[in-house]
Amino acid sequence: MGMHDTFFVEWDDSFSVGVPAIDQQHRFLILKIRDLQEAMAAGSAGAMLAPLIHNLVTYTKFHFAYEERLYAERGYQDIDDHKEFHSEMAQQVIEMGDALKNDKLHAGAPVMAFLKHWLVDHILGKDMVAFGKKGLGDDADEG
């Protein structure tokens, strides 16, 4: 059936945190995982690392700021811990960009490991708690 069947992950409703705008942003991340996996399978991951990491730097700034605004608006109790986690993840993206610039990042595997960590620990872990289990998504707008 083709490479489509070998993708690490595709969007599934079980990934939803209950906030449509956040879910849409998370879909973008899943597409980046798929793009990288496809490039790795084709042996061309090295060529896409620079644009991918550039996109991730921009994405992390926007996405984390958006999430943090929602947390603040809804009085999420663990906002400081979540902000610290966001800061650590954003720093990892910057470090990957630096490694790429310094010719120390040549393969997609470290980036894929980071993206999988983001999906499992952040989206399916911390964001589920912040939005799903805390009920923050119940009245969230899509703006």
Read off the tokens for 132: 């799903």
Statement: residue 121 has pLDDT above 90:
no
**Global pTM?**
0.80
Give CA–CA dist 73/35, Å, rounded: 34
Q: What is the pLDDT of residues 12-47, one digit of tens each?
A: 888 899 899 999 999 998 888 888 888 888 888 888
**What are residue 104's phi and psi, to 5 degrees?**
-110, 0
At 61, the pLDDT band (50, 70, 90 cuts) reads: very high
Q: Report which DSSP code applies to 4.
A: G
Statement: residue 5 has pLDDT above 90:
no
